Amino acid sequence: LTAPPLGRLASRIAILLMGKHKPIFDPSTDCGDYVVVSNCHHLHTTGKKRWQKLYYRHNTRPGSLKSISMDELMGKLGGAEVLRKAVSGMLPKNRLRDDRLARLKAFEGEAHPYKDNIVRFNGKPQVARWPVAEVAGKTQEARL
């Protein structure tokens, strides 16, 4: 099975970073979790977004508007930066945004230094899997 597209993955990560999945959520407090994403080089989008979507930056000087396509950005800085920009756009624009975004750890390959820090309950690691892969093998009756 394939991973979800970039936008769906980024929106789920943004919810985890904000802590909206917790019963103690409050918009004015930072109660989110750390999120570690590996294999960012496998990110994909639907349609032609990879070649047509442009990222802009400007340093307020005349004539300094720069643009780069998603494909060029993935080649230059990697899929982790594309994911970080997508999640950044989905977080609220307030004083907590930088702290929340700092808790996102994205890596190009499988290896990352946070393998020992995964929380374990009852001897099993609490690792979120792709929601598509969790539901794919179940029948409609089993989901209800």
**What residues have CB less than 8 Å from 13, skipping those under 6 apart?**
35, 37, 83, 87, 104
* Contact indicator for 100, 84 with CB cutoff of 8 Å: no
Q: Which residue has the tokens 């929106």?
A: 11
pTM of the model: 0.81
In this structure, the number of other CB atoms found within 10 A of the CB of residue 79 comes to: 22
pLDDT of residue 143: 41
Question: Can you give the residue ranges of every domain in the chain?
Answer: 6-112
- For 6-112, which CATH superfamily applies? Ribosomal protein L13 (3.90.1180.10)
d(CA 106, CA 34): 11
Q: Which two tokens stand for residue 40?
A: 């960012």
Residue 15 has pLDDT above 80, yes or no: yes
Q: Which two tokens stand for residue 2?
A: 């394939």
Per-residue pLDDT tens digits for 92-124: 999 999 999 999 999 988 888 887 777 655 556
Per-residue pLDDT tens digits for 24-60: 999 999 999 888 888 888 899 999 999 999 999 999 9
